[in-house]
Structure 1
Amino acid sequence: MIIYCAGPIKGDTTFQKFYLEIINFVESEGHTPLTELGVEHTPTNPLTDIQIYKRDLKWIDGSNIMIAEVSGPSLGVGFEIAYALYHKKMPVLALANNRVENVSAMITGCDSHLLTVAKYVEVEELKEIIRLYIKELKT
């Protein structure tokens, strides 16, 4: 399965280590993670904003599902989630660390049947949520 992994790159990166865990776990489970974060996608010449925008939308269009780390505020992640839900109409798993009290109401208040919001405490719980989510989608 091709999975677009979304997380803050320029915004609040407090929980970026969990974003990396998501990417690594998706790959370890035999799926293909598409993400801006990571050495394999770092171009020699930096991309322009337009190139990043087009690339990311192309990656979302080519994905089966999206998994997003939403613990820290990020306009980009919010845009990507909205695009996935309302343009691509694909399932999105939004994950927030349990220490975060105020996840964006635009995520937690969204009533799309394609959006699943879950909270995690530790890395192992994060992985189990992802594992079960993917298993549920396959059935």
Structure 2
Amino acid sequence: MYIYFCGSIRGGRQDVQIYQTIVKKLQTFGKVLTEHVSHNEVTDKVIVAEVTQPSLGVGYELGRAVAMKKRTLCLFRPSSGRSLSAMIRGAQDGHVIQVMDYDPQQIEDLLDQYFNTLNQSPEGHLK
């Protein structure tokens, strides 16, 4: 499985340790792509975006993911004191796009649950 992770680069470097934890866990589910890696032949792709830090770049990437109907998980950390964009929260459809609030200590379990559910789903095509 190929997983595209995005998080704020310019405005969110204070979250780099959280990003590292997320990417390390995602690597147990498949190959984590970076934004400069492009594979035209990839069909099963999951986008995981840490959306706590406001980022126009991440917002753009999420818009592209929605347009391409790619499975997308948006992770938001309420303990940051920030409010999640209503546009991102409102994009959740419960199937292709999911938004999950998380606590950093629980992120690995949350990702386990999310990917285990995908792998068990007949339409998931992610095994």
TM-score range, shorter chain: 0.7 to 0.9
The CA deviation at 1:59 is: 5.7
Letter in 2 for 1:127: E
- 1:7 aligns with 7
Question: Scaled by the length of structure 1, what TM-score is found?
Answer: 0.74
1:1-139 matches, within 5 Å, as 1-27=1-27, 29-36=28-35, 55=36, 58=38, 62=42, 64-86=45-67, 88-100=68-80, 101-112=82-93, 113-123=95-105, 125-139=106-120
4+ aligned runs moved over 4 Å, structure 1: none
| Change in CA separation of 1:60 and 1:15 when aligned onto 2, cut-off 3 Å | farther
3-state SS of the aligned residue for 2:14?
coil
Structure 2 CA distance for aligned equivalents of residues 77 and 105 of structure 1: 15
| Change in CA separation of 1:61 and 1:114 when aligned onto 2, cut-off 3 Å | farther
What stretches of structure 1 of length at least 5 have no aligned partner? Answer: 37-54
Question: Scaled by the length of structure 2, what TM-score is found?
Answer: 0.80
* Structure 1 or 2: more helix by fraction: 1
Query: How large is the Cα RMSD of the aligned pairs?
Result: 2.1
**Aligned partners of 1:92 and 1:116 also within 8 Å:** yes
| Change in CA separation of 1:60 and 1:74 when aligned onto 2, cut-off 3 Å | farther
| Change in CA separation of 1:61 and 1:127 when aligned onto 2, cut-off 3 Å | farther
| Change in CA separation of 1:30 and 1:134 when aligned onto 2, cut-off 3 Å | closer
Instruction: Give aligned pairs, total.
Output: 117
What stretches of structure 2 of length at least 5 have no aligned partner? Answer: 121-127
Structure 2 CA distance for aligned equivalents of residues 83 and 59 of structure 1: 16
Letter in 1 for 2:77: N
